[in-house]
Amino acid sequence: MRKKVAILALGMALWAGVAGAAEDEKERLAVAAALSWLALVDDGGYVESWNGACEYFRKAVTAEQWKQSLGAVRSPLGSVVSREVASTSYQTSLPGAPDGEYVVVQLNSVFEHKKAAVETVTPMLEADGKWRVSGYYIK
């Protein structure tokens, strides 16, 4: 009996390790997508960032609305001085969003006119297997 329990415990530990590694890989890919998307925003490519966002995002806001609202928020901050990933969190459910696979990425950022900001970028895994941004906030 003890041998069966030990084998079961080992199997569960191995599975947890595999699941954790898969989550880590998803987080890595989502962070890469978030940083690539932020580069568009940093360069003033607001419409391009809308085009590169997930379908859910594009259905929620028009390209023109996004361009105007993002410009109003980002322009006063000036250019990005530095940005560092502070945390990532894999989620399958977020308030106000459809169930799916998301990674909430928080970044500690410094802008030309704002020395301490937290950017939150939330990529979502779409049906084609690509991570695309579903949300962006600055505090």
Query: Is residue 104 within 8 Å of residue 89, measured between CB atoms?
Result: yes
| 8-state DSSP, 77 | G
Query: Is residue 124 within 8 Å of residue 134, measured between CB atoms?
Result: yes
Tell which residue, 121, 90, 119, has the closest CA to residue 26.
90
pLDDT at 20: 60
The identity of residue 66, as a single letter, is W
Contacts of 111 (CB under 8 A, 6+ apart): 77, 78, 79, 80, 81, 117
pLDDT at 54: 95
pLDDT at 1: 55
Give the pLDDT of the chain (139 residues) as one tens digit per residue.
Answer: 555 434 444 443 444 454 566 778 999 999 999 999 999 999 999 999 999 999 999 999 999 999 999 999 999 999 999 999 999 999 999 998 999 999 999 999 999 999 999 999 999 999 999 999 999 999 9
pLDDT at 42: 96
Distance CA 122, CA 91 (A): 10
Ordered by where they begin, the domains of the chain are 2-138 (3.10.450.100)
